[in-house]
Chains A and B, each alone.
Chain A
Amino acid sequence: MIEFSKIYIETGVAPKFDPIGVYNNFNHNRIHHSKSMMKLKNEIRKYLMIDETW
């Protein structure tokens, strides 16, 4: 909103933008869940003793 409003208030014209650009920045900065996901899967597999040989 800071960048968008600055340009709009200064020039009176709304800047062109794409929400995908915002998403790209967000995706770059966000916490990714792959590690937690793998940890969770492994814990479940271990708990259920899926890989144990009987």
Chain B
Amino acid sequence: MIDLIRDNINWIKDFATLIFVGTATVIGVLAYRRAKATILQPIRTEVIKKQSELLSRLLQFLKENFKSFEAGNEYVTVVHVNVLKTLEDYGYIFKGQDQIFEKLEKEIVGWIPCGNSEILHNVEIIGTFDKKDKFEDSKDFDKNKFENLKNGEIDIEKIYQTRTMTRFMSKLGDYSEDPFMPSLIKSTLDELLNDVNINLNKILKIELRNL
């Protein structure tokens, strides 16, 4: 036995050295990783704390707002506002419209341009210091639209936005842009926002066109 060891001593020594170096390397790497995790732990804890607060607020926000949104309550108002305002844009006047529009104007906070033309025909840009006492009447533009409509040319140029819808979208956008938002949840939020935009800019536009 001793003779066998003596004959192979070099080989055994090399093998033992190899195992020792390998084990030391593995322990070194693991120790480094552990040390790194320990040093970064306070930062990680702080980030997780902020993310937990952010996501809890988001869950609460969705709970409070999304039901009425998905059930259609807010879409009903958006469609209602857009139908009446589109008819007005094309020059149609209907009974009691002053009272109706007085109510609607309180709901409307703006509009999204969605026309096929790159020009916003009824938006006039003036120079910063150019004082102009009288602007062209937007009714002229409506008349042109009505004349085009008679020829079957129609382009829905605006989707009016309601206060509640805008607030909801803006809040969701804020959550999505928050630097502490995890990327997986951010992408789902963006998907949701994109769906709402498609509903408004494409599907509602088609419905208004076909009205």
Does B173 sit within 8 A of A, measured CB to CB? no
Chain A residues lying within 8 Å of B184, measured Cβ to Cβ, are 43, 47
Query: For the complex, would chain A's binding face be called helix, strand, loop or mixed by DSSP majority?
Result: helix
Binds A, one of B51-59, B114-122, B124-132: B51-59
> Shortest CB–CB separation between residue A20 and chain B, in angstroms?
7
Contact call B154/A26, Cβ cutoff below 8 A: no
Take A3-B210, A4-B211, A22-B207 as given contacts and tell me if A40 and B55 are in contact as well, using a CB distance cutoff of 8 Å: no
Kindly identify which residue among A4, A9, A14, A33 contacts B195, using a CB–CB cutoff of 8 Å: A33
The A-B contact count (CB < 8 A) is 105
Binds A, one of B4-12, B17-25, B31-39, B82-90: B82-90
Cα(A2)–Cα(B148), bound, Å: 11
**Chain A residue at minimum C-beta to C-beta distance from B200:** A30
Q: Say which size band chain B's interface belongs to.
A: 35 or more
Kindly identify which residue among A2, A9, A30, A48 contacts B52, using a CB–CB cutoff of 8 Å: A48
Query: For the complex, would chain B's binding face be called helix, strand, loop or mixed by DSSP majority?
Result: helix
Chain B residues lying within 8 Å of A1, measured Cβ to Cβ, are 86-87, 90, 149, 154, 156, 208-211
Contact call A4/B87, Cβ cutoff below 8 A: yes
Chain A residues with a Cβ under 8 A of chain B: 1-5, 8-9, 14, 17, 19-20, 22-23, 25-27, 29-34, 36-37, 39-41, 43-44, 47-48
